[in-house]
């Protein structure tokens, strides 16, 4: 498998990233371990998580995903085989939120402890914090890199103007820059990324690690009518957001491509993402080995020009 560079950093990652939001939530520890083992066995090395995963679940306080990954790393001795990405900035309660330098320092130590590692490969600002000067945030990240606790940094959920401002600030002050961007991007969610961010990332050689590759499961085709909302913990929100005339049009196009390619609709959706020139490594999750093998198979698909044109037409905004 050909690995892909993350920006100008020395990090090389697989063409698909495993989304760790499920670890310790919809995938228990034992299942998570088997999924991670299978991910590496299939030749993939990129795993993404965040300190806040899965604080939204009843009884959780955040850090559950990192804790599971840390136990897996310690048990298997696989640290040198993986690229670990995590994030800081979402609300962890008790005022622990944002990108203030003091909180970044504490959050990094907390993540390192939970992950049971000495260095985070890719440390990402989970969302923009306009209340904290970019200079202060980037200087805090720079100190972590200088201390050997972080290898490279990235941004998530940044607008094009703010990402451009951050890159300019890094260049002007000689500070480490965001080597990656983690935006919402998939066949159903296109406009927010394609309008400005895609061109900026390509121009500045910022690698794109897009999240929600399958639109919270909608692009697998399992949500086709309102009553399908009961099929998963996120089903209600997914149906409300995506199940509309445009969404059904996208599913119909995916069905047609899947029939031609002899694959699953979700595999076709991921293959479409992989064919986008601005995308480096989309993020997708799995809670079973069967789902994981479908993700692996998606990276081997080569959509035709006809396939890509069909999906492009079907997913255009109404």
Neighbours of 263 (CB within 10 A): 20
**CATH number of the structural domain 4-182:** 3.20.20.100
Of 53, 158, 178, 242, which residue is the catalytic one? 53
> Would you call 53 a catalytic residue per the annotation?
yes
How many residues make up the chain in this entry? 318
Q: Report pTM.
A: 0.95
**Tens place of pLDDT for every residue, the chain, 318 residues?**
789 999 999 999 999 999 999 999 999 999 999 999 999 999 999 999 999 999 999 999 999 999 999 999 999 889 999 999 999 999 999 989 999 999 999 999 999 999 999 999 999 999 999 999 999 999 999 999 999 999 999 999 999 999 999 999 999 999 999 999 999 999 999 999 998 999 999 999 999 999 999 998 999 999 898 887 777 767 788 889 999 999 999 999 999 999 999 999 999 999 999 999 999 999 999 999 999 999 999 999 999 999 999 999 999 987
The pLDDT assigned to 197 comes to 97
Q: Where are the domains of the chain?
A: 4-182
């Amino acid at each position: 498998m050909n690995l892909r560079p993350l920006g100008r950093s020395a990090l090389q990652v697989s063409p698909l990233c495993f989304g760790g939001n499920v670890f310790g939530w919809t995938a228990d520890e034992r299942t998570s371990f088997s999924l991670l083992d299978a991910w590496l066995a299939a030749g993939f090395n990129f795993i993404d998580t965040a300190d806040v995963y899965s604080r939204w679940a009843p009884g959780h306080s955040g850090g559950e995903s990192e804790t599971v990954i840390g136990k897996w790393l310690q048990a298997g001795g696989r640290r040198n085989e993986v690229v670990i990405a995590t994030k800081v900035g979402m609300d962890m309660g008790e005022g622990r939120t944002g990108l203030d330098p003091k909180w970044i320092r504490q959050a990094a130590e907390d993540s390192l402890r939970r992950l049971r590692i000495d260095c985070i490969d890719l440390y990402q600002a989970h969302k923009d914090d306009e209340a904290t000067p970019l200079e202060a945030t980037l200087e805090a990240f720079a100190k972590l890199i200088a201390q050997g606790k972080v290898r490279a940094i990235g941004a998530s959920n940044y607008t094009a103007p703010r990402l451009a401002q951050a890159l300019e600030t890094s260049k002007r002050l000689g500070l480490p820059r965001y080597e990656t961007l983690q935006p919402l991007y998939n066949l159903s969610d296109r406009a927010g990324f394609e309008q400005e961010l895609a061109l900026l990332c390509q121009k500045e050689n910022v690698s794109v690690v897009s999240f929600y590759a399958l639109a919270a499961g909608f692009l697998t085709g399992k949500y086709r009518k309102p009553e399908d909302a009961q099929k998963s913990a996120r089903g209600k929100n997914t149906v409300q957001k995506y199940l509309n005339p445009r969404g059904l049009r996208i599913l119909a196009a995916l069905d047609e491509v899947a029939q031609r390619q002899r694959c699953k609709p979700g595999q076709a959706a991921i293959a479409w993402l992989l064919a986008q020139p601005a995308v480096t490594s989309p993020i997708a999750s799995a809670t079973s080995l069967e789902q994981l093998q479908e993700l692996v198979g998606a990276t081997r698909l080569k959509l035709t020009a006809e396939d890509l044109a069909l999906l492009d037409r079907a997913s255009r905004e109404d």
